Each structure stands twice: as C-alpha cells, then as structure tokens.
Structure 1
Amino acid sequence: MNSANSAAVVVGVDGSEPSLRAVRLAAIEAARRHRPLRVVHGFIWPLLHVPVSPAPDAPPGGGLRHQAEELVAAAVAEADATVPGLSISGEIIDGEAAAVLVGESPTAALIVLGDRGLGGFSALVVGSVAVQVAAYADCPVLVARGEQRPDEPVLVGIDGSAASRRAAEFAAETAVTRGVPLHAVHVYRHPGSSGPGDMQPLVYDETGLHTDEDRMLDGWLSGLVEDHPGLRLTCRTTRGRAGAVLAEASRTAQLVVVGGQGRGEVTGLLLGSVSQSVLHHAHCPVAVIRAPR
C-alpha cells in the first residue's frame, strides 16, 4: 500500500449505478483514512478512433467528451454530498477502464470500483473490470457490492500465504479504524503439506487435523492484536471450500478481505480461485489484497 500522506483513495466511475455506489463508499473510506478522493473515468473512445467532439452542426454541450465530463462532475457531486468538505478531484484519462485504474494503483492508497459497469453482461455477477483491477493493481482494491452493514464485523480469510498475511494486516487496521471486531476464518479441505512433493495421508484423524489447523491459524495471527491496539479478534477454523464458506459468512459482515492468491493455488493465476469466488458471491463489499510482485 502506498503510505505517502498524499496518496489518494481512487474511485473508478462510468455513470452506472454500481459506480455511484462505489463513489459513496470511496468517499466514506477516504474520510476514514484522512485521504483525498480522486474520481477517475477511463475514456476509451479516442483509442477506438471515435470522434469525441460534437459535430459542427450539433447543439452546444454535445459529444462524448462532454458526456464524460458530466458523469465525472456528477460523481464528484455525489461524493461531496456523501462527505461534505472532503478534498475531491476528478479527471478523465484516455484509455480502457481497467488499464487506467491499474495505472493509478502505484500511487493510490486504495482503489474502489463497482461490481459491474455500463458495459457489463447481464449474466456476469461481477464485471471484468473489477476482476482485472483486483488481479493487477499494486494497492488494495475495494469492490462495492452487497449490503452496507456498518455495525457488523470485518471478515478476513486466512490460509498462511503471503497475500493472506497482508490481508490480515489490512483487515485488522480496517476493523480498528471502524471500531468493529475482526473475524478471521481459516478453511481447510485436506491435511496440509509440510513440504514440496509431500503425499497426503489416505487416513487421518479429523479431530487431530482440526487441532493442527487451529494451531496453524494461531501462528499465522500471532502478534496481530499486539500490533493493532484495540483490535477485537475472533477466530474460526472449519472444513469446506474457502470461497463458499467466506461468501456465506459475509452475510453477517460489513466487509470481507481476501488475499489475491492463496496457498496451494496455481502460480500462474494472477487472481486466485478463492478471491474470485468471493468477489462473485459475497453479500457485502470485498477487499482484495495482493502480495508484492
């Protein structure tokens, strides 16, 4: 995460209702973090060689560029109405939406976007822009979806990977800032491997396995409470599919935080299967935290 005091919370907008929900969430998040808010619109039409200025005989105020200016202005106004007095700027950047937001990420404190935009297919639960930005961004990505439940805890999925450890830090900081508990969940399916090439046992003691997984979770979270004074932490270890367990648990959470790629997932995937599953099925906003590349 960019720690410079000037780093802004960046929100991507396209004029859709999901993007306006993202604007409201981003404004609140910027205020919580004492950061400015930067409203960004990826303006793709110049790349497609589409005329963006009004035709010579068109009435004033026409053209695609003017429409983009209006939607950015509307988003800035929405943010200002959500958090009056917040430092807000807006900018139109030529380029495809996901590429523009990823380009903003090295200097952003956080990127916020809606789960779907104007160009999304109706069959998709989460749009391709959200998935691409979550996979490639160099800062935490917050996707506005589901219900807002400000009194519920922050939920984080933990599996011992570098990305999940960063997710735990982000979740702990967020929970303390919001004044709510942090609920850490570790989901396992089989006995863990102690090294490369290890064979999983065909027969094992379920009670002993659960105890071992509890012990690993305690080790992964060791020091988290000491590092975040005021943190109220609860932990749960359960057997199942991580994506499904976290999505179900999100029904009683205000935010679910996941690492971009978990332990044991295919290395070539920029966004792991668990984080993708949570992005598509969570019942509250989702934060995706990637490990450094």
Structure 2
Amino acid sequence: MDTQPRHAVVVGVDGSAAAHRALDVAVDEARRLHRPLHVLHATGVGIVPWTTERLGVQDLVSEAAAQRAREAAPDLEVTRETVVADPAAALVAASRTADLVVVDAGGLGRASGILLGSTSRAVAAHAGCPVLLTPHAGDWSTHGPVVVGVDASEHSVPAVAWAFAEASARGTALLAVHTWWWEEPDPFLSGRDWEGAWRDVAETQRLEVAEMLAGWQEKYPDVQVSTTLVRGHAATVLAEESRDGQLLVVGSRGRGGFTGLLLGSVSASLITHTRCPLTVVPSTHRPVD
C-alpha cells in the first residue's frame, strides 16, 4: 500500500459497479487537473476483529481499482490504500491534503456488507476540498455545459472559480444558474398586481450575478458563458438543468437567491436527484489560480 500524495485526486472504491464509474471519472479528473490519483478503500469498522486473511481479501478491492486506473491512463501516477475505518471518516481525513475527492453519490460500503447511504452526504458536508459525486444511475451527457449555481454572495466565489476552471479544462461552455424565490402577498387581500415587483427583483438579481461573473469571464476568455435567472427553488431548478449538463457545481453555503444552500437542504437534494456528476465546493475553498 502507498502513502497518499499531497494535492491528489482521491477516489473512494468498494468494488461495486457504481464505484467503478466513480473511478473512471476520477481518472479523467486527475488527468485534467494534472494531479496524481489515490485509490482509497475503507473497509468499515464492524464488530468482528479484522484478521490478516480478511484484510488481504479487502485489499484486493483497492488493488483491482488501481490496476483499472493504470490501464486506463498509463501516464497517470496512481497510488492505493486500504484502511480499516468508516468510509466517510476516511475520505474526510484524506480530503485535508487532497485537491478533490470523488465518490459515488449512492454511497459506499455495499461490498463489505455495510449499507452507507449517508456516506456521500457526510463527505460532501465535512470535506476540506471539493467533492465530486457521480450519479448512481451512471448515465449523463458528456457534451453539455458545466452548470454552476450562483448567488451574489462571497460564498459563491469558490464554486464559480471551480466551475470556470472545469469548463476551460473541458473545452465546454458554462451555464450560470441563479434562482430566487419570493412569496407575494395574497392578491385578494392586498389588491396589488405583483408582476412589476417580480420584474424589479429579477433585474436586481441579474445585475448582481453579472457583476460576480464579469471578472471570471475576463480570466477565462475561452469559456462561453450564458446565464439563466429563474424564480423557483434552487434544488428543483438545478436538478432540471443537470439533465443536459456534464457537470453541476454548487457551493456548500449560500445567501441571497440561494438562501438555504446548505448540505442539509439543497445540496443534499441534488446528491439524490442530479442527473450528472455534482461537485460541492466548500465556501472556504481557495479559488483556483
């Protein structure tokens, strides 16, 4: 087994078909980011003592995954590790020195007899670096844009930075999606037409988003950018946009139009409903240089 390199792309594997898809995505990301790939298999703790023989069998999981990665990308530096630990805890620990963690959105642990549907949510909520979650269905567009959920707060900056860098590296367009929601008073009680007020709110939101994107468009002139502003709930709108995207990027915190963009609400919903890979970028993550 190997020591995890710093600034690696770390992928969690468990021998399942879904984990194989996550591994393939991780290989592509490592090559795109020019980073080493570290394959991590966490066995789970359990109540039965781990014998040398049992650990040897589990170690075959990371060995097979590493071999798959080397065959797919002979030029890629690939390391591997098998640890006796909770998968979520192991991946969060790995994220402290990683540049990206990749995991199947359906969770890990089935191969070892442990159902860990909450693994992906826990990793996305607590990781120290961006986390890329691959849809459990494994079928998504490879030619669509990178879709990013934005608001006008500083919490969006790391996600926007990551999305622009991804779009540039992938040679594809960027779609910036901003949602806002405002419940108007009952018109029968207020006696007022609120359509004009909606337009005013939408225009204010549009200007704020345009200002946020302007600097990044200058930094990445090769990226074609389009913006859509929708009066609706963020999770619903972004899940729909993910149908035609090749990557969806969101931040771990949000305000303004994305009020409530927390792992317990919008991002958690997207982990379940996104149709393309989802990257959750911590609000404290340093923007890509």
The TM-score, its normalising length taken from structure 1, stands at 0.83
Residue 84 of structure 1 corresponds to: 74
- Supply the distance in 2 between the matched residues of 1:270 and 1:106 (Cα, whole angstroms): 20
Equivalent of residue 158 in structure 1, options 150, 155, 160 = 150
How big is the alpha-carbon RMSD for the aligned residues of Structure 1 and Structure 2? 2.4
Equivalent position SS for 2:255: coil
- Supply the distance in 2 between the matched residues of 1:273 and 1:162 (Cα, whole angstroms): 19
- Equivalent residues of 1:261, 1:274 under 8 A apart: no
Equivalent of residue 168 in structure 1, options 160, 166, 191 = 160
Residue 58 of structure 1 corresponds to: none
Report the CA distance between 1:270 and its aligned residue: 6.1
- Equivalent residues of 1:105, 1:111 under 8 A apart: yes
Q: Taking every aligned residue pair, what percent have the same amino acid on both sides?
A: 38
Given the alignment of the two structures, is residue 23 of structure 1 paired with residue 23 of structure 2, yes or no? yes
Letter in 2 for 1:14: D
Report the CA distance between 1:266 and its aligned residue: 8.2
Equivalent of residue 215 in structure 1, options 185, 202, 207 = 207
Residue 74 of structure 1 corresponds to: 64
- Equivalent residues of 1:262, 1:272 under 8 A apart: no
Residue 253 of structure 1 corresponds to: 245
Equivalent position SS for 1:90: strand
- Supply the distance in 2 between the matched residues of 1:272 and 1:158 (Cα, whole angstroms): 18
Unpaired runs of at least 5, structure 2: 111-115, 184-191
Given the alignment of the two structures, is residue 51 of structure 1 paired with residue 64 of structure 2, yes or no? no
Equivalent position SS for 1:221: helix
Given the alignment of the two structures, is residue 97 of structure 1 paired with residue 95 of structure 2, yes or no? no
- Equivalent residues of 1:183, 1:233 under 8 A apart: yes
- Supply the distance in 2 between the matched residues of 1:171 and 1:288 (Cα, whole angstroms): 10
- Supply the distance in 2 between the matched residues of 1:33 and 1:118 (Cα, whole angstroms): 25
Unpaired runs of at least 5, structure 1: 55-62, 121-125, 192-200
Letter in 2 for 1:98: A
Letter in 2 for 1:140: P
- Equivalent residues of 1:13, 1:19 under 8 A apart: yes
Instruction: Figure out how many residues of one structure are paired with residues of the other and give that number.
Output: 264
- Equivalent residues of 1:261, 1:273 under 8 A apart: no
- Equivalent residues of 1:73, 1:90 under 8 A apart: yes
The TM-score, its normalising length taken from structure 2, stands at 0.84
Report the CA distance between 1:67 and its aligned residue: 1.7
- Equivalent residues of 2:63, 2:80 under 8 A apart: yes
Equivalent position SS for 1:229: coil
Equivalent position SS for 1:291: coil
Letter in 1 for 2:54: L
Aligned CA distance change for structure 1 residues 88 and 262 (closer, same or farther; 3 Å): same
Given the alignment of the two structures, is residue 129 of structure 1 paired with residue 119 of structure 2, yes or no? yes
